[in-house]
Structure 1
Amino acid sequence: MPQHVRGVIARSSGAPVELTDIVIPDPGPGEVIVAISACGVCHTDLTYRDGGINDEYPFLLGHEAAGVVDAVGPGVDSVAIGDFVVLNWRAVCGDCRACRRGRPEYCFNTHNATQKMTLTDGTELTAALGIGAFAEKTLVHAGQCTKVNPAADPAVAGLIGCGVMAGLGAAVNTGGVARGDSVAVIGCGGVGAAAVVGARLAGATTIIAVDRDPRRQSMATELGATHTVDASAVDTVASIRSLTGGFGADVVIDAVGRPETWEQAFYARDLAGTVVLVGVPTPDVRVDMALVDFFSRGGALKSSWYGDCLPDRDFPMLIDLHLQGRIPLEHFVSERIGLDGIEDAFDAMHEGRGLRSVVTL
C-alpha cells in the first residue's frame, strides 16, 4: 500500500523550499523504493528550485543520495531488499544507438520510475533528475540503484551519485588525464575539487587549482593540487602557462561554465591540449572567439556529462578506492543537516562555505 513520508519540495520559482508529506506508491515493474540514508545538497537542486531546469513544479528535490532498498517491484533482480545503494541519474537502457555501438555512457534513453510520487492531495511531483531524494524514501527505476560496499559512510557515498562523479570523471574519463600530465582546474567547488582528486588519482604531476576563494584553494591543496591560482588577483591564463613551462596545461577543466572561464581554459591549454567543460552553462551565455584560433591550436574540446561515467562500473570502484584510503572523499562533507536545513544549505552554497552540505536521515 502507498507510503506517506516527509520530503522537501519546491512549489514555485524562487520560493523557499517546503518540508511536507508526500505519497510513494507501491513499486511497479522495474521500480524500487529506497529508504534514504543521506543526500548531498547540489547546486542543481538550487537550479531546480529557481526554475533553471524547467517549470514542471512542484519539484521533489535532492538527487545525490545513498540509502537502503526498502521494496522492489515485479521483475527486479538487480537489487534486493536490504542492499546499500548509491542512486544515479544514468540508468542506461542497453538498446539505444549509443548503447548498441558500445558507448553506453552516452545513452539517449535512460530510465526513471514510471509512476509519480505525489502530494497528499494527489498533485504529481517532478523528481529532481528522476530521483527526488530530499525525502525519507523515494521511488526510482531499478537501474538507478548501484550496489556498493555498505562499509562506506552514506554521507560520503551519496556524493558519488553526482558531484564527485562529475568532477572526477571529467578528469579521468572525459579528459583522459594520464601519468605525468599537467592539469588545471578552473573553479574548485564540489565538482572542481573532485576533478583535482581525479587528476591526482590518474597520476598527473602538476595540478593547478584556480579559484577566487582562498578557502577553496586551500581545500584543493589538501585534495592533491600542487599549485593554486587566485583568479581574483592574477591573470589566470598567464599563471597557468607560467606553471607549465610557458606551454599551458595538457588538460584544462572548466568547472564553472561561464564564457570567460571557458576562454581561459581554451587559451591556458598546451598546443593540441584538451579542454573539458563540466560546469553547466545557462542557456543565455555565448562565446565569441576567432575561428582561426580553433583551427590553429588543434587538440580536443570536450563536454563532460556526468563525468562520462557508467555507474555500475565506476561507483563501486570509487567506494572501494575511498575505503582503501586512496581518495579522501570524506573531505567533501562540510556539514550534516536535517531535511529542515535545505534553505540554509543553499545560503552556504552562495557564500562558498565548504564543499557540500549533506542531509542525513
Structure 2
Amino acid sequence: MTPTVPDTMNVAALAQLGPADAAFEAVVRPVPRPGPGEFLVKIAACGVCGHDALARRGELAATVGDVLGHEIAGVVVAAGSGDVADWVGRRVALVQRRPCGQCPDCARGATSQCRRGPGFYGDDLPGGYAEYVLADPLNAVRLPDGVADEVAAVASCGIGTGLHALRKARLEAGDVVVITGAGGGVGFNAVRTAKALGLGVIACTGDDAKVASIVEAGADRVLVRPDVAAVRGCARDLDRPRGVDAVIEVTGGPTFATSLRVLRPEGRLVLVGNTVPADLAIAPGLTIVKELQVIGSAHATRADLQEVIDMIDTKRLDPIRPRRLPMSEASTAHAALDERTATGRTVLVP
C-alpha cells in the first residue's frame, strides 16, 4: 500500500546567520514532488554536522530561510516514475551529494566531485532538517533491518567520510594512523573504523572529558592537545620510531603543523576538515626532504556508504548510536556542536 503524502511539511529553517541560539525556526513548506527517476523520502533522522555549523554562521553560502542538513535516513514513500517504483517502502540512507551519473567524474567513481547533478543537501538542495526530501538511486543505499535509522543517517558523512579518507591514505592492517578531532562526529567514528580495518590508532582531542569515550571507541593512545614530542612518543610505543604512516586531519588549522611533523618519510596527511576556515601554512622543506604527501579528501561516495552499511550489518563495525533530539531542538544541537560538549553525532528526528 502506497503511503499518503501530505501537501505540506514542517521544517526547521535557518532564521538568522550567526550564533546557535534562536538560529532556527519552525515553518511550513510544500512537500517536494519527485520527478522522473527520483523518489520522495520521508525522513526518520538527520545528523547535525560541522558543515551545518559553518553554514549557520555564514561561513558558507547559506542564506536565511535555507533548510540545512545532509546526513539523512528514512523511507521512500513516493516515486516519480515507474523505473524507480520498486524503491517505495524501502528504508534508505542517503549520500549527501546527488550526482548526475553521466559526467567524467561520475564515470570514474568520483561522485563527490560531480557538479552537474542536483547537488549537495543543505547547500544546493533543501536539506534534511525537514520531514521529506528528494533522492534517487545514485545517492541512496537500501538499509538492512538491523541498521537503526539514527546510525544510518550518519553512515555517509559521519562514518563514510572517515572511511573515504582512510582509503585515500592507502593504509594496510598493522599501519599506524593519527586521527585529529577524535571527539567530534567524523573523528570519533574514524577511530572506530580504523580499528575495524586493523590499524593502530593515536587519537588527538582538545577535550579531557572525551578521553574515556575515545578509548572505548578503540584508540590505542589518546592525547589531549599534544605537541610533536608527545605524538612521536606514542608512535615509538607502537613500533613507528620514524613517525606514523598517515594522519587523518579532521581539525585542520589548529593541528595541521603538528600532524605534518609526526609523519614518517613518505607518510600521507589526508586533509578532511578545517575547523577555522583559513589558508594553512605548509612546511615546504620538511615536505620535500621527507617526500610527504598532502591529500585532500571530500565526502563519501555511494560505494563508501554501501561499504559502511555492510560493515555495520555484519558487525565488523559497531558505531555508537547518535544522540536523538526532536527537530524543534535544532538550535540546541548546534549549541552543543559549537561548545564541543557532545562526543560523536547528534541526529534530529522530525
Question: Residues 354 and 77 of structure 1: is their aligned pair in 2 closer, same or farther, counting only changes over 3 Å?
Answer: same
Structure 1 residue 150 and structure 2 residue 145: aligned? yes
Give the alignment's Cα RMSD to 1 decimal: 2.3
Which amino acid in the other structure matches residue 34 of structure 1?
Answer: V
1:33–1:139: 8 Å Cα contact kept in structure 2?
Answer: yes
- Partners of 2:79 and 2:85 within 8 A in 1: no
What is the deviation of 1:130?
Answer: 2.9
Kindly state the Cα deviation for residue 304 of structure 1 after the two structures are TM-superposed: 0.9
Letter in 2 for 1:296: V
Aligned residues: 337
CA-to-partner distance for each residue in 1:123-168, whole Å, 9 max, x for gaps?
xxx8446351111112234433222213311011111131211123
Give the alignment of 1:108-257 within 5 angstroms: 108-109=114-115, 111-112=117-118, 127-128=122-123, 130=125, 132-171=127-166, 173-188=167-182, 189-204=184-199, 206-231=200-225, 234-235=226-227, 237-245=228-236, 246-257=241-252
The 10-residue stretch of structure 1 (47-56 or 220-229) with the greater mean CA deviation from structure 2: 47-56
- Unaligned runs of at least 5 residues, structure 2: none
2:9 pairs, out of 5, 10, 16, with 5
User: Is residue 2:333 matched to residue 1:345?
Assistant: yes
Compare 297-306 and 215-224 and name the one that shifted more.
Answer: 215-224
The CA deviation string for residues 266-296 of structure 1, in whole angstroms up to 9 with x for no partner, is 111111111011113554x223344222211
Give the CA deviation at 1:90. 3.2
What's 1:26 paired with?
33
Tell whether the 8 Å contact from 2:56 to 2:62 is kept in structure 1 after alignment.
no
Structure 2 letter corresponding to 1:54: A
- Find out whether 1:265 has 2:263 as its counterpart: no
**Post-superposition offset of 1:55:** 4.2
How many angstroms apart in 2 are the aligned matches of 1:270 and 1:61? Answer: 40
Conserved? CA contact 2:43–2:132, under 8 Å: yes
Shifted more, 217-226 versus 104-113: the winner is 104-113
Per the TM alignment, residue 216 of structure 1 is displaced from its structure 2 partner at its CA by 2.5
Cα deviation for residue 27 of structure 1 reads: 1.4
Which residue identity is paired with 1:214? D
For residues 224 and 346 of structure 1, the distance between their equivalents in structure 2, rounded to whole angstroms, comes to 27
Contact 1:79–1:142 (Cα < 8 Å) also in 2: no
Q: Which amino acid aligns with 2:8?
A: H
Cα distance in 2 for partners of 1:217, 1:339 equals 29
For 1:73 and 1:344, locate their aligned partners in 2 and report how far apart those are by CA, in whole Å.
Answer: 35
Partner of 1:118: none
- Alpha-carbon separation, structure 2, partners of 1:45 and 1:359: 13
Verify: 1:354 aligned to 2:343, yes or no.
yes
Residue 347 of structure 1, CA deviation: 1.5
8 Å Cα contact 1:177/1:199 also seen in 2: no
User: Which position in structure 2 is the counterpart of 1:47?
Assistant: 54
Instruction: Show structure 1 runs of 5+ residues with no match.
Output: 115-125
Q: TM-score, normalised by structure 2?
A: 0.88
Q: Percent identity?
A: 28
Moved over 4 A (4+): none
Which residue matches 1:120? none
Letter in 1 for 2:189: A
Deviation readout 1:86-133 (Å, 9 max, x if unpaired): 111233333322334x2434543352289xxxxxxxxxxx84463511
Following TM superposition, by how much is the alpha carbon of 1:208 offset from its aligned partner in structure 2, in angstroms?
0.4
Structure-1-length-normalised TM-score: 0.86
1:298 to 291, 294, 314: 291
Matches for 1:56-71 after TM superposition, within 5 Å: 56-71=63-78
Query: Where does residue 122 of structure 1 map in the other structure?
Result: none
Equivalent residue letter for 1:327: L
